[in-house]
């Protein structure tokens, strides 16, 4: 199974134009979609998406299947829209179709979610993975990706009340399926998600090759970028998040805790 290495960036802080993260930096997300440096997939051309928060609890969502660098609507939108909290993603598929429903971020209610990584051999146990999603959440299953399945399973595991525990339990259940029916590596992920108030991020792998994750506070913007790889080569103050971490970003505050899917669930 080829390793999907999507690229993503998120921001929380004083409102900025989306283009300040998506297209303006020297190694912006759009630049990364053509020549990423810290992943195996240099070209990420299987769609893109944005989720942003502003005056309403639910985020706006814009996704399409074009390469991010060739969509004039994306350029116009990011130049005009300001937001205090947003998620942006460019996709490199490992097999599921290039369709709008398979593009990140995924949104349910006030929650938005995007993911980079893989659940080993997901195509071999996809039906079993689908069966883990309860009936009341299944109408939100629009695409076919393992990423969306992980998100819906986290919602089922109590994301509203316990974000870290919900994702630990969800990751454990899918990692267990990968160990039983899929292939190694059973789980590699970096993910960012938000409820519109806080920005959360995860870096985790079942082996020693967790995808990269960085964050950086900007005094001039009064905000923090959380990214799969740094946005400017010359900025030396990007902080790498260690593997096995769950991060909470709120204002200038950063809390990083261990992220450890329960092994009993993995072994079950």
Strand ordering across the sheet containing 111-119: 106-108, 111-119, 187-194, 199-205, 245-250, 253-258
Catalytic residues: 6
Q: Considering only CA atoms, which of 187, 165, 2 is closest in space to residue 96?
A: 2
Burial profile 186-211: b = 16 or more Cβ within 10 angstroms, e = fewer: bbbbbbbbbbbebbbbbbbbbeeebb
Give me the residues paired with residue 115 across strands: 191
Locate the DSSP E strands across the chain: 7-17, 48-53, 60-64, 82-90, 106-108, 111-119, 187-194, 199-205, 214-218, 223-227, 239-240, 245-250, 253-258
The encoded tokens of residue 65 equal 């299947």
- Check if the beta carbon of residue 123 is closer than 8 Å to that of residue 95: yes
The answer, yes or no, to whether the previous bond of 207 is cis (omega within 30 of 0) is no
Look up tokens 């039983």; give the residue: 180
């Amino acid at each position: 199974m080829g390793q999907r290495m999507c690229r993503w960036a998120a921001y929380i802080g004083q409102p900025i134009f989306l283009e300040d993260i998506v297209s303006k930096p020297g190694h912006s997300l759009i630049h990364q979609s053509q020549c990423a440096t810290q992943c195996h997939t240099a070209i990420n051309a299987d769609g893109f998406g944005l989720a942003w928060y502003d005056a309403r609890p639910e985020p706006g969502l814009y996704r399409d299947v074009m390469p991010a660098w060739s969509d004039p609507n994306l350029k116009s939108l990011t130049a005009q829209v300001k937001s205090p909290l947003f998620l942006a993603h460019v996709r490199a598929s490992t097999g599921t179709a290039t369709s709008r429903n398979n593009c990140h971020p995924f949104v349910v209610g006030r929650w938005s979610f995007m993911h980079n990584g893989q659940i080993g051999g997901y195509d071999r146990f996809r039906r079993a993975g689908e069966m883990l999603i309860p009936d009341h959440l299944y109408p939100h299953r629009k695409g076919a990706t393992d990423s969306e399945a992980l998100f819906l399973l986290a919602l089922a595991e109590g994301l509203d009340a316990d974000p870290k525990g919900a994702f630990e339990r969800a990751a454990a259940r899918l990692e267990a399926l990968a160990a039983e029916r899929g292939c190694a590596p059973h789980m590699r992920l970096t993910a960012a998600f938000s409820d519109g108030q806080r920005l959360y991020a995860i870096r985790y792998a079942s082996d020693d090759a967790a995808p990269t994750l960085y964050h950086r506070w900007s005094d001039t913007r009064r905000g923090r970028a959380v990214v799969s790889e740094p946005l400017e080569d010359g900025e030396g103050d990007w902080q790498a998040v260690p593997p096995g971490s769950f991060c909470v970003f709120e204002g200038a505050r950063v809390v990083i805790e261990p992220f450890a899917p329960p092994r009993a669930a993995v072994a079950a």
